[in-house]
Amino acid sequence: TQNSNMFDGNVGLKLDIIKGLTFTSRFAGRMGFTDVKEFQNDYYNTTLDRRLPSEVKLLAEIYKDMVYNAQQYLTYDFSVADAHNFSLMAGMEAAQEWGIDYNGERNGMPSDRAELLYFRLSEDNTSDNQIIDGSGYKRRWLSYFGRLNYDYKGKYLVTMNIRRDGHSDFGPDFRFGTFPSISVGWKFSEEPFIQDLNIIS
């Protein structure tokens, strides 16, 4: 049997500070819990293939995990002379993820009845019969970013981005990296000599 429960949620806030200047905050999270039990009975292939009573086995696993993500950023939009349009954005993002799991097995289980599927009810309490294992992890991200969008009369476009990202999986000397980018565009469908051709809708 396997039982899983998952909880997701997110919340956001947007504030118009002054004309063109907006602050946005977002938070999202998820928690998960999973419980798995497997009972291996006397028979496992045919009536001739049987386990010994001491080999009747219960396996159980428990998983837990959680992840959250938080973003905060400012945007500022303005125009100059009704021709030069600017959009500036700066922000940061932080995230964390962790998970753990436990698993074990016990032989000599008396029955597959639900009320008997607990390790403590095993008929074999020797230390050799108690097999326990598990693992876990924890990861963190942190990013800072900025963007400039510019267009002239909606026809000539420039976008510049920069990000600085960090991740806990990397060593201290290599944890952060900076990633810039730039792109340009020409919306030629807005040019009169293209519109006169009547070939683009």
Q: What is the pLDDT of residues 32-74, one digit of tens each?
A: 999 999 888 876 666 666 667 667 888 999 999 999 999 999 9
Q: What is the pLDDT of residues 144-154, one digit of tens each?
A: 999 999 999 88
Q: What is the pLDDT of residue 17?
A: 95
Burial of 16 (0-12, 13-18, 19+ CB in 10 A): exposed
Tell me how far apart the alpha carbons of residues 179 and 177 are, in angstroms, rounded to a whole number: 7
Q: Report the predicted TM-score, pTM, of the whole model to 2 decimal places.
A: 0.72
Tell me how far apart the alpha carbons of residues 146 and 143 are, in angstroms, rounded to a whole number: 10
